[in-house]
Structure 1
Amino acid sequence: MTTESVRAHFASLGLDLPIIEHEQSTATVALAAEAFGVAPGQIAKTLAFRLATGEAVLVVASGEARVDNGKLKQALGKGKMLSHDEVTSLTGHPVGGVCPFGLATPLPIYLDVSLKAWPELLPAAGGTRNGVRVTPEQMATITQGQWVDVCKTPEAA
């Protein structure tokens, strides 16, 4: 069902982006990088937070990046990661397959600048055994996401 919502989202935008299915799990950055044969940084992970205002938001970042609480607070306000149940309820996607496409509930989407380090990204596509190839520019267009700097990367750590 959730992969279908991603396909429907792409179709509604007139996009023909093939969803790549795998037999093995792509539920973590390491597993997805192995399945796709790419560097972990090319995996675009989607994290869900509840801000101090009560608003739920998604942050998409490079697989190697780590959210910096100070940067998050400065850019968006204090945030707390959502529980697995909240993530599934709000996005319609299972944990390990969460992506910023085909969401059950419209949510603000923030794209960390760490994504711009890669010419091609591989976010999940609503399942724990799939993904889709997009450029950072396509990601921004598809999600109507806002660019932010809320992560630290291994080089900057």
Structure 2
Amino acid sequence: MSDEHFLPSNMPEAPDASEPLDALPESARRVALLLRECGHEKPVVMLPQTGKTSAEAALGLGCSVAQIAKSILFRRRDDDAPVLVIASGANRVDEDKVAQRVGPVARADAKFVREKTGYAIGGVCPIGHVTAPVMLIDEDLLQLDSLWAAAGHPHAVFNLSPEELIALTGAPVADVALRA
């Protein structure tokens, strides 16, 4: 994998693409190396501003909010297992739909997120967790050609297709979006 950053051709203001792998923050470097081990050739990109919210990340990348594959962590009530939902940035997650698939859940606090994933909120990557989570992928992500997911740090993201997301995580696809 090259240390050059892949950026979509339609991006108006591309983040700096010259940062070498060793210049990444430790958590993002860990993700970059894990992606490389998995055969994923697109590198981690550092955003100049935070990507803690889907809107911030989309603005920094010049993509739609729907293309942000946001990671929402829940705590399963019966056994305290982490439940990670990778959802379109344009969607709110319907906790009842998630509970129907995995059992009753509650929102996770920052301490639980860090302990179970190894990442801070805003930087939770779909892979490389301390404790393997139960996972679900929002079916709406499959309608898109290109996604951006957090890469272990609030400023770090990486590009992938919905098919690559499924292959990297092994997670089932489900209807998890809150519908009006």
TM over 0.5: yes
> Shift of the alpha carbon at 1:105?
2.2
Is residue 92 of structure 1 aligned with residue 130 of structure 2?
no
Aligned to 2:13: none
1:16 alignment partner AA = E
Aligned partner of residue 70 in structure 2, secondary structure? strand
CA distance in 1, matches of 2:136, 2:99: 13
Distance in 2 (alpha carbons) for counterparts of 1:22 and 1:85: 24
Aligned length: 154
Percent sequence identity is: 32
Determine the C-alpha separation between the residues in 2 that align with 1:129 and 1:114: 24
1:83 is aligned to 109
Q: What do residues 73-124 of structure 1 show as CA deviations (whole Å, max 9, x unaligned)?
A: 2122211011011101111111111121222222222111121121111111
Q: Relative contact order: is structure 1 or structure 2 higher (C-alpha 8 Å, sep ≥ 6)?
A: 1
Q: Measure, in 1, the Cα distance between the counterparts of 2:50 and 2:173.
A: 29
TM-score by length of 1: 0.91
- Find the counterpart in structure 1 of residue 168 from structure 2: 142
Q: Could you say which residue in structure 2 is the equivalent of 1:105?
A: 131
CA distance in 1, matches of 2:91, 2:97: 13
Corresponding residue to 2:47 among 19, 22, 29 = 22
> Which structure 2 segments of 5+ residues have no match?
1-25
1:51 paired with 2:73, answer no
Larger Rg over CA atoms: 2
